[in-house]
Amino acid sequence: MTREEKARLNSFVAKNVNMLLEEKGMTQRELAEKVGKSEAEVSRWLTGRNGFSKTAIARLSVALGHDITTRPVGLGTGGNTDNIVKHGNRKVALITGVTGQDGSYLSEFLLEKGYEVHGIIRRSSVDFRERIAHLEGRPNFHLHYADMSDSMSIVKVIDTVRPDEVYNLAAQSHVQVSFDSPEFTADVDAVGVLRVLEAVRACHLEQTCRIYQASTSELYGKVEQVPQNENTPFHPYSPYAVAKLYGFWIVKEYREAYNMFCCSGILFNHESERRGETFVTRKITLAAARIAQGHQDCLWLGNLSSLRDWGYAKDYVECMWLILQQDKPEDFVIATGVQHSVREFCYEAFKCAGITLEFSGEGLEEKGICVAGPKNLVGKTLVAVSEDFYRPTDVVNLWGDPTKAKAKLKWNPNKTSFEQLVELMVKHDMAKVAGEGAAMKVRTNLAEYLEKGIVR
């Protein structure tokens, strides 16, 4: 068999395996377990980048219940054939940080656009894939193990995937944590960006692969101009912001030094129901839900007067994609252009949970008191301030100017309003807390029954 014939056979078999996976609703992980291979190796099979040995064909045929060297029944010349033909022409995207809030939304967005999407995940004894669990098993969604602190693992994945677009979303993105773990933050958020850029060059993709770097409004830090745009001077005010500033400048340097299509999106705060529970917005919406349902007494926060430009993460991933579709690489501010305080976010969140707050006092003495809502909560202090949540250096006034993104990308930053965003998050967390409460009752009742010998 000639090299060309082998390549055609491998491509044919890979398409068959993808179709069978979709037909059976089997995930990539499940297939890997059935054939006794790693997910990374299965992913290389599914994308046609690894050849199929006789042993591999035999194992896969048994696992899928069909001879993978023959076209599955019903998929000869029917409607699905179009998808088979187009599969080889799909754009290929690689996402670091795929399990995060932005990574999960971006994966959904790109899959809807017809992309073949590959994501990087870290090896861990604990699995954190809940945000992308619903995507696993799709024929054009693949996962690979690598780590932002390990350049060789990044090179291997990029060489395997050969992406058209890379979205570097991976980061230690919690500002407060960066004060506690500054070295780790610098390694991942600063040098990690360099590792991605160098991996693309090492694989000789610098002229064909476009790179998006997720930057941050924290670069402006101790703000010198309000609102902030692409020309506003940077004044980073945390280890996280300093690390991200290196990432921003190294992207710019590689763009100019090597003529690479690499850009930074300077993202202002963007939230969603998938936001991590340690971030202040999610902390507020969860607390509002728990207090409303009797599972928490009070919410403790830091500076309630801090001002932020909050948007909906699902809207922001569209802008990331648009940035890489332009004729020339440029950096963009991604923001709503509307500013609110932490206090306002609290008020809206509790309002959505059926509680009206009234704030009084200043600084550490400020309190949010319930003036309307459930009778058992009226008159009680539900929001209070603790100096434990003040940062060593605090950024208090972030407000983005998305004029350039609106004009050049034709992007609508106000698709989801501030009030709609808060309502989405609270509605989700009300349901989450209600579910947790029901589960707790079941566990409590079961323990009681076991103790009394009712259930054995």
At 175, give phi and psi (nearest 5°): -60, -45
Pick the catalytic residue from 39, 108, 116, 218.
Answer: 218
To the query of whether residue 316 is one of the catalytic residues in this protein, the response is: no
pLDDT exceeds cutoff 80 at 85: no
Q: By three-state DSSP, how is residue 193 classified? A: helix
Do 273 and 425 contact (CB within 8 A), yes or no?
Answer: yes
- At residue 305 the predicted structure's pLDDT band, cuts being 50, 70 and 90, is very high
Ranking 114-118, 122-126, 134-138, 186-190 by mean pLDDT, the lowest is 122-126
**What is the average per-residue pLDDT within 265-291?**
95
User: What is the share, in percent, of the chain residues with pLDDT greater than 90?
Assistant: 68
84 band by pLDDT with thresholds 50, 70 and 90: very low
Whole-prediction pTM value?
0.77
Work out the angle between the directed axes of helices 39-46 and 3-24 (0-180°, nearest 10). 110
Percent of the chain's residues with pLDDT above 70: 90
Q: Is the pLDDT of residue 422 over 50?
A: yes
Looking at residue 275, its pLDDT comes to 94
Q: In 3-state terms, what secondary structure has residue 47? A: coil
8-42 confidence digits (pLDDT tens):
777 788 888 888 887 888 888 888 888 888 888 88
What gap in Å lies between CA 360 and CA 77, rounded to an integer? 71
pLDDT score recorded for residue 443: 54
Provide the 3-class DSSP secondary structure of residue 55.
helix
Q: What local confidence, expressed as pLDDT, does residue 74 receive?
A: 44
- Model confidence at 455, in pLDDT bands (50, 70, 90)? very low
pLDDT at 456 over 90: no
Q: Residue 322: is its pLDDT beyond 60?
A: yes
Interval 133-138 mean pLDDT: 90
Q: Is the pLDDT of residue 354 over 50?
A: yes
Nearest one of 302, 319, 197, 224 to 268, comparing CA atoms? 319
Amino acid 447: pLDDT: 58
- The whole-number pLDDT of residue 67 equals 84
Q: In b/e form, how buried is each residue of 414-442, taking b as 16+ CB within 10 angstroms?
A: eebebeebbbbbbebbbebbeeeeeeeee
pLDDT tens digits for range 365-420 = 999 999 999 999 999 999 999 988 887 777 778 999 999 999 999 999 999 999 99
Active-site residue, 240 included: yes
What's the pLDDT score for residue 451? 58
Residue 319 has pLDDT above 80, yes or no: yes
In the prediction, which pLDDT does 43 show? 82
Identified catalytic residue from 99, 216, 232, 416: 216
In terms of Cα–Cα distance, which of 384, 385, 382 is closest to 297? Answer: 382
Confidence bin at 4 (pLDDT 50/70/90) = low
The arithmetic mean of pLDDT across residues 434-438, rounded, is 82
Per-residue 3-state assignment (H helix, E strand, C coil) for 315-332: HHHHHHHHHHCCCCCCCE
23 is catalytic: no
* pLDDT per position as a tens digit, 214-260: 999 999 998 888 999 999 999 999 999 999 999 999 999 999 999 99
- Mean pLDDT estimate for the chain: 88
Whole-angstrom distance, CA of residue 333 vs CA of residue 402: 6
What is the predicted pLDDT for the residue at 400? 95
CA 122 to chain centre: 14
Instruction: Work out whether strand 356-360 and strand 367-372 pair parallel, antiparallel, or are unpaired.
Output: antiparallel
- Looking at residues 327-348, what average pLDDT do you find? 97
Active-site annotation holder among 240, 312, 316, 347:
240
